[in-house]
C-alpha cells in the first residue's frame, strides 16, 4: 500500500530529475588515481567492444535480411559451402590478437594499481566489516569511526580490510573498485583520492538481511581539515574538544548529569542526561554527554546536520525522522546492531531535542 | 548424379518388432509414466517438469522486479526478498536450464540422432530423472519451515545461489534443505553424464563416425564430460558446508582454523564449467537449426565440433575470474585473466561459423530460426560484456554489481533460453506429432526479444552507476530509479511473452495440424521416424554417409525418380554429397 502511495511523487521525480546524485559515476568522474586508471581501461574496452559489436551484429542482421526467403522451393538448395580454412584461421587469430593486446595493456596497468606505496606520509586505514556496519581505524592515532570514513585528499592511502563475521565487500565506486572483507584474512587496496567530496560507500557482497543497508559515507577533505578532524576525535579529547551544542547560550550551559532542568536549552539538557542514563555512551561518542566515548556505533557529533543516518539507509529530515529511528531502529534498518531501547514517546522526544542541537 | 541409392526408409506398423520388452515399454496410463525406462518418456518428463520449474522461477523473477521497481519501502522484507532471489537463481539454473537441455532434449534426441533404440542404461536414466523432482521439492520446501528469528513465516535458503559460507552456515534451516537438494541434483547429473558418454561412444548406428555425429550430440558429449569431472567438486564443498552446519566441523569457519575461500574455489571449479553445461547443449541446437533453416551444411563442421571440445577443456582453467575481488595474488589474477580471454577465441569461432552458415543460405524465418538468430545477436552482447569483467581492474568495479547480473542474463537468457526455445519449436512437431502456430511463435519471439532487452540491458548501466547486486532496496538519491522502472516493465512484458508460448504449446499439442515425419526437411535421424517416434524408435535406418543422412536420402530419391527439380540447380554444380 505504501508503495502505491509512493508511486505518484516518485513518478514526478523520475521525469523531473532522472539521476540527482549519481549524475557522474566513476567512469565519468573518477575521484582517485586508481579509479582514473580503471576508468581509462573501461573506456578503452568500451570502444573496442563497440567496434566488434557493430561488425558482428551488422554481419548477422545483414545476412538475415539479405538471404531471407519467404517461400523457398522445398528441393532447391543454395550452394553448399562446407567451410573455408583461410577464413577459419582468420577469425581465430584476429580476435586472439586483439585480446592479447588488451591483456598486455591491462597487465601493464595492474602493476601500478597493486603496488603498495612506501611513501612515509602513507595513511593506513583499518576497515572492519560486520553485520551490518563498517568500522574504520585511522593509522596509529587510535581514532575510530563507524559508517563514516574520513580521508585526506592527495595522501596515499592503504586500506587493510577484514571482517569479523561473514564476507562483506568494501566498495566506494567513485574512489576505487571493491575488495572483499573476508573473516580470518586481511586484504589491502591502495589509492590516492584526487577530488574532495562526499562519496557513497556500500557493501557489495550479500551478507544477510541488512546487506542493502550496510552503507557508509566517505568525506574526502584536505589534509589540514583531515588532521583537524583527527585531533578532535582523539579518544578522551572528544568531550573536551567538541564544540558545545549549537543553541546553548553559553559553554557553561552544557548539560551535566543532575542538572538537566537548569539548562537553558530546555529539554535539550534533559535529553543529554537521559542519554547518559540510558547508556547510549557505551556504544556512541556523544559530545556533551559525559562518559559517552563508545566506538561501537557512530560518533554522534553533527548528527543533526546529516541528511541520512544509519550508514545512509535512513533519511534524516528533521526531529521526526530521528525519533522514529531511535524508537525502533531495526524496523528502519533490518539487522542493525542498534538495540531497541523501549523508549517512551516522551523520552524519545527529549533525546531528539538534544540530538537536534548536534549540528 | 553420383548418388548411390540408399535403402528406403519405411516406418510402418507392420514392421514393428514384437519383443516382450517393447511390449512393456508400450504400456499406457500413469503407471507407464512412473515406471518407464524409455528415453523419450523420460525426456518428456524432464521437459514438462522443468518447464513448470521455469514458470516458478519466472514468478520469483517478477517478484524480484516488483521489489526493485521503486526505491525504499519495498513490498517484501529483506529476509523474504533474499529467499526469493536465491530461489529464482537456484530454480532457473539447477532445475531448468541444466535439466531441460541435458535431461530433457538430450534424453529425447541423443538416442534418436545416433540411431539407437534407447540410452545405454535405461534404468539409471529413469533414476536420474526421479532424483530431480524430489530434490526440487526439497529445495522449495524451505519456505514452509519457520524463520529462526520468528519474524517471518518462511525460512528458505537466503544466501544466494552461490551460498558462500560463513553466511550460508548461519542461515535458516531451509539452507540445509537447499544443500541436500543441490547435492542430489548433482548426483543425478553425474549419473546422467555417464549414461550419455557411454551411449554416444558405443551406441552409434553403423557408419556414424565421430565426424558424422550431429553437432548437438557433439555438444552433449562435451557437456557430459564436463559434468562428470566438475560436479563432484560442487558436491564436496556443499557437503563440507553441511558438515559445518550440523556436525561441528570448521572447514570454512576461520574461528576454527577454516578458510572461507576454500569453498569459493571448489564452488567455482564446478560452477564455471557449469556455465558451459548450461550453454553447450543449446549451442548444439543452434548448429542443427541453422543448417535446416538455411538449407546449408554447417560452415566448418570440424571447427564447430572441436571448438566445443576446446571450450570444455579450457572451461576448467578460468574459475577464479569469479574471484578477482577476494584478494588473490596478482600473478594468479593475471593467469585467470589470460585464460578467460583465451576461451573467448573458440566461442568467437563458433559465432563466426554460425554467421557463415547463414551467409548465402535460403533462410526460412520460422520460429526456430527466429529464435536462433535472436540467440546469435543476444549472445554476442553477453560475450562482449564478459570481456569487461575479464579485465581484472575493471572487474574490481563491476564485480557483484548489476552489470554482472546483466551479463549473466545475456548469456543464460539471451543465449541458453533463446536457443532453448529455438529447439523447442524445432522439435515440437517431432515430440507431439503436431505443428504449432507460426504466428503465435513469431509473437512470442518479438515480445520476448523486446521484453528481454528492456529488462536486462539497463542492468549494465545500473552496474556502472554503482548498483550492487542482491540488495533488497536502494535509496532514491542514487538515481537508480528510472532504469529499475524500465526493467520491471520489461520483465512483465517478458512474462507475458511466456504466456503466449505456454498457450501455443498447450493448444497446438491438443489441436495442432498433424506434422508428418519430417516437416522441416531435416538432416538428422530423428526425422526419419514417425512423429512422435514409436517406443523402439526406428524400423530401419538409412546408411550414414555424411553428417546429413536425411538430405542424402532425399537427394537419392530425387535421382531415382528423375525429377526436374535439381537440388543444386542454382549453383550450377552437381549436388555433391558431403565430403566427409
pLDDT digits (tens, 9 = 90+) for B491-507: 999 999 999 999 999 99
Domain count, chain B: 1
Q: Compute the distance between CA of residue B459 and CA of residue B403 in angstroms, rounded to an integer.
A: 5
Indicate the residue among A208, A232, A256 that finishes a domain: A232
Predicted confidence band at A353 (pLDDT cuts at 50, 70, 90)? confident
Q: Compute the distance between CA of residue A16 and CA of residue B94 in angstroms, rounded to an integer.
A: 43
Task: Average the pLDDT over B38-46 and give the result.
Answer: 95
Least confident residue range of A88-92, A237-241, A259-263: A259-263
In this structure, how many other beta carbons lie within 10 angstroms of the beta carbon of residue B138? 20
Place of cell 506429432: B433
Q: A105: nearest CA in chain B?
A: B391
- Spatial contact of A146 and A188, defined as CB atoms under 8 Å apart: no
Give the model confidence (pLDDT) of B390-432 as tens digits: 999 999 999 999 999 999 999 999 999 999 999 999 999 999 9
Same domain assignment for residues A349 and A277: yes
Task: Average the pLDDT over B382-397 and give the result.
Answer: 95
Question: First and final CA of chain A: distance in angstroms?
Answer: 35
Across A119-128, b (16+ Cβ under 10 Å) vs e yields eeeebebbbb
**Strand, coil or helix: what is A346?**
helix
Same domain assignment for residues A253 and A332: yes
Determine the pLDDT at residue A336: 80
Number of H helices, E strands in chain A: 9, 12
Residue B82 belongs to domain spanning: 30-561
In this model, does residue B306 exceed pLDDT 90? yes
Strand-strand pairing, A123-130 and A133-138: antiparallel
Determine the pLDDT at residue B149: 66
Nearest residue to A332 (alpha-carbon basis) of A355, A308, A348: A308
Nearest residue to A164 (alpha-carbon basis) of A192, A204, A135: A135
Q: Which residues 158-197 of B have a C-beta within 8 angstroms of A?
A: 158-160, 164, 166-167, 170
Residue B20 lies in a domain: no
Same domain assignment for residues A206 and A262: no
Cell numbers representing residue B538 in the block: 526406428
Minimum-distance CB partner of A206 among B167, B360, B362: B167
- Spatial contact of B224 and B196, defined as CB atoms under 8 Å apart: yes
Cα dihedral angle (A292, A293, A298, A302), rounded to 10 degrees? Answer: 70
Give the model confidence (pLDDT) of B62-102 as tens digits: 999 999 999 988 999 888 999 999 999 999 999 999 999 99
Residue A316 lies in a domain: yes
Distances (CA, A) of A240 to A56, A151, A246, A332, B520: 68, 23, 15, 33, 86
Q: B337: nearest CA in chain A?
A: A103
Determine the pLDDT at residue A73: 61
Give the model confidence (pLDDT) of A38-95 as tens digits: 999 999 999 999 999 999 999 999 999 999 987 656 667 888 889 899 999 999 999 9
Determine the pLDDT at residue B148: 66
Element housing A219 (H / E): strand A216-221
Indicate the residue among A197, A213, A232 that finishes a domain: A232
In this model, does residue A9 exceed pLDDT 50? no
For residues B79 and B454, the model is more confident at: B454
Distances (CA, A) of A299 to A219, A282, A319, A351, B148: 14, 11, 18, 16, 32
In this model, does residue A12 exceed pLDDT 60? no
Element housing A200 (H / E): strand A197-203
Predicted confidence band at A322 (pLDDT cuts at 50, 70, 90)? confident
Predicted confidence band at B4 (pLDDT cuts at 50, 70, 90)? very low
CA atoms within 13 A on the CB side of B383: 27
- Spatial contact of B441 and B447, defined as CB atoms under 8 Å apart: no
Q: Compute the distance between CA of residue B68 and CA of residue B241 in angstroms, rounded to an integer.
A: 31
Cell numbers representing residue A32 in the block: 582517485
Same domain assignment for residues A245 and A285: yes
- Chain B residues inside the 8 Å CB shell of A56: 351, 355, 380
Task: Average the pLDDT over B247-272 and give the result.
Answer: 93
- Spatial contact of B566 and B575, defined as CB atoms under 8 Å apart: yes
Length of chain A: 359
Angle between helices B173-202 and B215-246 (to 10 degrees): 150
Determine the pLDDT at residue B166: 92
Angle between helices B39-68 and B78-92 (to 10 degrees): 150
| A60 inside 8 A of chain B by CB | yes
Same domain assignment for residues A247 and A228: no
Residue B413 lies in a domain: yes
Determine the pLDDT at residue A72: 57
Least confident residue range of A109-113, A195-199, B6-10, B71-75: B6-10
**Residue to test with chain A: of B83, B363, B418, B461, most A Cβ within 10 A:** B363
Residue B11 lies in a domain: no
- Spatial contact of B260 and A185, defined as CB atoms under 8 Å apart: yes
Residue B19 lies in a domain: no
| A132 inside 8 A of chain B by CB | no
Task: Indicate yes or no: CB of A72 within 8 angstroms of CB of B362.
Answer: yes
Task: Indicate yes or no: CB of B480 within 8 angstroms of CB of A204.
Answer: no
Q: Compute the distance between CA of residue A181 and CA of residue A168 in angstroms, rounded to an integer.
A: 5
Same domain assignment for residues A244 and A225: no
Q: Compute the distance between CA of residue B377 and CA of residue A54 in angstroms, rounded to an integer.
A: 11
Residue B576 lies in a domain: no
Tell me the Ramachandran region of residue A312: left when phi exceeds 0, alpha when psi lies from -120 to 50, beta otherwise: left
Helix, strand, coil percentages for chain A (3-state, nearest 5): 40, 20, 40
Same domain assignment for residues A253 and A349: yes
Determine the pLDDT at residue A245: 40
Number of H helices, E strands in chain B: 20, 0
Q: Which CATH number belongs to the domain containing residue A206 in this structure?
A: 2.60.40.420
In this model, does residue A243 exceed pLDDT 50? no
Same domain assignment for residues A153 and A209: yes
Task: Indicate yes or no: CB of A210 within 8 angstroms of CB of B327.
Answer: no
Element housing B176 (H / E): helix B173-202
Task: Indicate yes or no: CB of B78 within 8 angstroms of CB of A211.
Answer: yes
Residue A265 lies in a domain: yes
- Looking at the complex, report in whole angstroms how far the Cα of residue B379 sits from the nearest Cα belonging to chain A: 10
In this model, does residue A242 exceed pLDDT 80? no
Minimum-distance CB partner of B348 among A38, A95, A113: A95
Residues ≥6 apart with Cβ < 8 Å to B350: B283, B304, B307, B308
Q: What is the 3-state secondary structure (H, E, C) of B81-150?
A: HHHHHHHHHHHHHHHHHHHHHHHHHHHHHHHHHCCCCCCCCHHHHHHHHHHHHHHHHHHHHHHHCCCCCC
Determine the pLDDT at residue B6: 44
Determine the pLDDT at residue A299: 78
- In chain A, which ranges are continuous DSSP H helix? 2-16, 33-66, 85-114, 223-232, 237-241, 267-278, 319-327, 329-332, 345-355
Q: What is the DSSP letter of A162?
A: E
Residue B483 lies in a domain: yes
Predicted confidence band at B347 (pLDDT cuts at 50, 70, 90)? very high
Place of cell 504449446: B505
For residues B417 and A312, the model is more confident at: B417
- Looking at the complex, report in whole angstroms how far the Cα of residue A311 sits from the nearest Cα belonging to chain B: 11
Give the model confidence (pLDDT) of A191-232 as tens digits: 999 999 999 999 999 999 899 999 999 999 999 999 999 988
Q: Compute the distance between CA of residue B156 and CA of residue B146 in angstroms, rounded to an integer.
A: 8
Angle of CA points B317, B319, B321, to nearest 5°? 110
Determine the pLDDT at residue A266: 54
Cell numbers representing residue B44 in the block: 518428456
Residue A22 lies in a domain: no
Length of chain B: 580
Task: Average the pLDDT over B245-273 and give the result.
Answer: 93
pTM, to two decimals: 0.87
Minimum-distance CB partner of A60 among B361, B373, B479: B373
Q: Which of A235-239, A353-357, B124-128, B551-555 has the highest average model confidence (pLDDT)?
A: B124-128
- In B414-478, which ranges are continuous DSSP H helix? 418-432, 438-465
**Residue to test with chain B: of A83, A172, A187, most B Cβ within 10 A:** A83
Nearest residue to B178 (alpha-carbon basis) of B130, B234, B219, B233: B234
Q: Which CATH number belongs to the domain containing residue B440 in this structure?
A: 1.20.210.10
Nearest residue to B397 (alpha-carbon basis) of A129, A135, A114, A34: A34
Element housing A145 (H / E): strand A143-146
Residue B260 lies in a domain: yes
CA atoms within 13 A on the CB side of B97: 29
Across B219-232, b (16+ Cβ under 10 Å) vs e yields bbbbbbbbbbbbbe
Q: Which residues pair with A180 in a beta bridge?
A: A169
Predicted confidence band at B27 (pLDDT cuts at 50, 70, 90)? low
Same domain assignment for residues A265 and A328: yes
| A8 inside 8 A of chain B by CB | no
Residue A340 lies in a domain: yes
Cell numbers representing residue A115 in the block: 603496488
Determine the pLDDT at residue A308: 73
In this structure, how many other beta carbons lie within 10 angstroms of the beta carbon of residue B529? 22
In this model, does residue B123 exceed pLDDT 90? yes
Residue A351 lies in a domain: yes
Least confident residue range of A302-306, A318-322, B88-92, B354-358: A302-306
Residue A165 lies in a domain: yes
Q: Compute the distance between CA of residue B166 and CA of residue B252 in angstroms, rounded to an integer.
A: 7
Domain count, chain A: 2
Cell numbers representing residue B398 in the block: 563491476
Predicted confidence band at A173 (pLDDT cuts at 50, 70, 90)? very high
Determine the pLDDT at residue A307: 72
Q: Over chain B, what is the mean pLDDT? A: 89
Determine the pLDDT at residue A236: 56
For residues A280 and B204, the model is more confident at: B204
In this model, does residue B211 exceed pLDDT 70? yes
Predicted confidence band at A247 (pLDDT cuts at 50, 70, 90)? very low
Residue A283 belongs to domain spanning: 237-355
Minimum-distance CB partner of A76 among B77, B391, B570: B570
Determine the pLDDT at residue B5: 40
Cell numbers representing residue A337 in the block: 546492531
**Strand, coil or helix: what is B310?**
helix
Determine the pLDDT at residue A252: 38
Residue B580 lies in a domain: no
Indicate the residue among A210, A232, A254 that finishes a domain: A232
Amino acid at each position: 500500500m505504501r508503495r502505491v502511495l509512493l508511486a505518484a511523487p516518485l513518478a514526478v521525480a523520475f521525469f523531473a530529475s532522472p539521476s540527482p546524485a549519481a549524475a557522474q559515476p566513476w567512469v565519468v568522474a573518477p575521484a582517485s588515481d586508481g579509479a582514473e586508471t580503471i576508468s581509462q581501461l573501461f573506456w578503452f574496452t568500451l570502444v573496442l567492444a563497440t567496434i566488434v559489436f557493430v561488425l558482428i551484429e551488422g554481419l548477422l542482421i545483414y545476412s538475415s535480411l539479405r538471404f531471407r526467403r519467404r517461400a523457398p522451393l522445398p528441393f532447391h538448395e543454395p550452394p553448399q559451402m562446407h567451410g573455408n580454412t583461410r577464413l577459419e584461421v582468420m577469425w581465430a587469430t584476429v580476435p586472439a590478437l586483439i585480446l592479447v593486446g588488451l591483456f598486455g595493456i591491462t597487465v601493464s596497468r595492474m602493476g601500478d594499481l597493486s603496488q603498495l606505496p612506501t611513501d612515509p606520509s602513507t595513511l593506513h586505514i583499518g576497515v572492519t566489516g560486520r553485520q551490518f556496519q563498517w568500522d574504520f581505524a585511522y593509522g596509529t592515532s587510535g581514532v575510530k569511526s563507524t559508517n563514516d570514513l574520513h580521508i585526506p585528499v592527495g595522501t596515499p592511502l592503504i586500506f587493510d580490510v577484514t571482517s569479523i563475521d561473514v564476507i562483506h565487500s568494501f566498495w566506494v565506486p567513485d574512489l576505487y573498485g571493491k575488495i572483499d572483507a573476508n573473516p580470518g584474512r586481511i586484504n589491502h587496496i591502495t589509492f590516492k583520492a584526487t577530488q574532495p567530496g562526499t562519496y557513497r560507500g556500500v557493501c557489495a557482497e550479500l551478507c544477510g538481511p541488512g546487506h542493502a543497508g550496510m552503507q557508509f559515507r566517505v568525506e574526502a577533505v584536505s589534509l589540514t581539515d583531515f588532521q583537524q578532524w583527527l585531533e578532535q576525535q582523539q579518544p578522551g579529547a572528544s568531550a573536551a574538544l567538541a564544540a558545545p551544542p549549537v543553541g546553548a547560550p553559553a559553554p557553561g550551559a552544557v548539560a551535566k548529569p543532575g542538572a538537566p532542568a537548569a539548562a537553558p536549552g530546555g529539554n535539550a539538557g534533559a535529553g543529554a542526561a537521559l542519554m547518559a542514563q540510558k547508556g547510549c555512551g557505551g556504544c556512541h561518542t556523544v559530545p556533551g554527554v559525559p562518559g559517552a566515548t563508545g566506538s561501537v556505533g557512530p560518533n554522534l557529533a553533527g548528527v543533526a546536520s546529516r541528511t541520512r543516518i544509519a550508514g545512509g539507509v535512513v533519511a534524516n529530515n528533521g526531529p521526526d525522522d530521528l525519533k522514529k529511528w531511535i524508537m525502533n531502529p531495526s524496523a528502519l534498518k533490518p539487522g542493525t546492531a542498534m538495540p531497541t531501547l523501549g523508549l517512551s514517546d516522551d523520552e524519545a522526544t527529549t533525546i531528539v531535542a538534544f540530538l537536534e542541537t548536534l549540528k | 548424379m553420383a548418388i548411390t541409392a540408399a535403402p528406403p526408409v519405411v516406418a510402418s506398423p507392420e514392421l514393428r518388432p514384437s519383443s516382450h520388452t517393447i511390449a512393456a515399454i508400450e504400456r499406457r496410463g500413469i503407471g507407464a509414466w512412473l515406471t518407464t525406462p524409455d528415453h523419450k518418456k523420460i525426456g518428456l518428463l524432464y521437459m514438462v517438469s522443468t518447464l513448470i520449474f521455469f514458470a516458478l522461477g519466472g514468478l520469483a523473477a517478477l517478484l524480484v522486479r516488483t521489489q526493485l521497481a521503486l526505491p525504499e519501502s519495498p513490498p517484501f522484507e529483506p529476509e523474504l526478498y533474499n529467499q526469493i532471489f536465491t530461489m529464482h537463481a537456484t530454480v532457473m539454473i539447477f532445475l531448468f536450464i541444466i535439466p531441460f537441455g541435458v535431461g530433457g532434449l538430450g534424453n529425447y534426441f541423443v538416442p534418436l540422432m545416433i540411431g539407437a533404440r534407447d540410452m545405454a542404461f535405461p534404468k539409471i536414466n529413469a533414476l536420474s530423472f526421479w532424483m530431480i523432482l524430489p530434490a526440487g521439492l526439497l529445495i522449495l520446501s524451505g519456505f514452509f519451515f519457520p524463520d529462526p528469528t520468528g519474524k517471518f513465516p518462511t525460512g528458505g535458503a537466503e544466501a544466494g545461489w552461490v551460498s558462500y559460507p560463513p553466511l550460508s552456515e548461519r542461515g535458516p534451516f531451509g539452507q540445509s534443505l537447499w544443500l541436500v537438494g543441490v547435492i542430489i541434483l548433482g548426483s543425478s547429473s553425474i549419473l546422467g553424464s555417464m549414461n550419455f558418454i557411454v551411449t554416444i561412444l558405443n551406441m552409434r548406428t553403423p557408419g556414424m563416425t565421430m565426424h558424422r555425429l550431429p553437432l548437438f550430440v557433439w555438444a552433449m558429449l562435451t557437456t557430459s564430460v564436463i559434468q562428470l569431472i566438475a560436479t563432484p567438486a560442487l558436491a564436496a564443498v556443499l557437503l563440507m558446508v553441511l558438515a559445518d552446519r550440523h556436525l561441528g566441523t570448521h572447514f570454512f569457519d576461520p574461528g576454527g582454523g577454516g578458510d572461507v575461500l576454500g569453498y569459493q574455489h571448489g564452488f567455482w571449479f564446478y560452477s564455471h564449467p557449469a556455465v558451459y553445461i548450461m550453454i553447450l547443449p543449446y549451442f548444439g541446437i543452434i548448429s542443427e537449426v541453422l543448417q535446416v533453416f538455411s538449407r546449408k551444411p554447417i560452415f566448418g563442421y570440424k571447427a564447430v565440433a572441436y571448438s566445443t571440445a576446446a571450450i570444455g577443456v579450457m572451461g576448467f582453467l578460468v574459475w577464479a575470474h569469479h574471484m578477482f575481488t577476494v584478494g588473490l595474488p596478482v600473478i594468479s589474477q593475471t593467469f585467470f585473466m589470460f585464460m578467460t580471454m583465451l576461451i573467448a577465441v573458440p566461442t568467437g569461432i563458433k559465432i563466426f561459423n554460425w554467421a557463415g552458415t547463414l551467409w548465402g543460405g535460403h533462410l526460412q524465418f520460422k520460429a526456430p530460426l527466429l529464435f536462433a538468430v535472436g540467440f546469435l545477436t543476444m549472445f554476442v552482447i553477453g560475450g562482449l560484456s564478459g570481456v569487461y569483467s575479464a579485465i581484472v581492474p575493471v572487474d574490481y568495479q563491476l564485480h557483484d554489481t548489476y552489470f554482472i547480473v546483466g551479463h549473466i542474463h545475456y548469456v543464460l537468457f539471451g543465449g541458453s533460453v533463446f536457443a532453448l526455445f529455438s529447439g523447442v519449436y524445432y522439435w515440437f512437431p517431432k515430440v507431439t506429432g503436431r505443428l504449432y502456430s507460426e504466428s503465435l511463435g513469431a509473437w512470442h519471439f518479438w515480445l520476448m526479444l523486446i521484453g528481454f532487452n528492456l529488462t536486462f540491458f539497463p542492468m549494465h548501466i545500473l552496474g556502472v552507476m554503482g548498483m550492487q547486486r542482491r540488495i533488497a532496496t536502494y535509496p532514491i538519491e542514487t538515481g537508480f530509479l528510472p532504469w529499475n522502472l524500465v526493467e520491471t516493465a520489461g520483465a512483465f512484458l517478458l512474462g507475458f511473452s511466456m504466456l503466449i508460448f505456454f498457450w501455443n504449446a498447450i493448444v497446438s499439442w491438443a489441436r495442432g495440424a498433424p506434422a508428418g515425419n519430417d516437416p522441416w526437411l531435416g538432416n538428422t535421424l530423428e526425422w526419419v521416424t514417425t512423429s512422435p517416434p514409436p517406443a523402439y524408435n526406428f524400423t530401419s535406418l538409412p546408411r550414414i554417409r555424411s553428417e546429413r543422412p536425411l538430405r542424402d536420402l532425399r537427394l537419392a530419391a530425387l535421382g531415382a525418380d528423375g525429377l526436374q527439380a535439381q537440388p543444386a540447380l542454382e549453383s550450377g554444380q552437381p549436388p555433391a554429397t558431403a565430403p566427409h
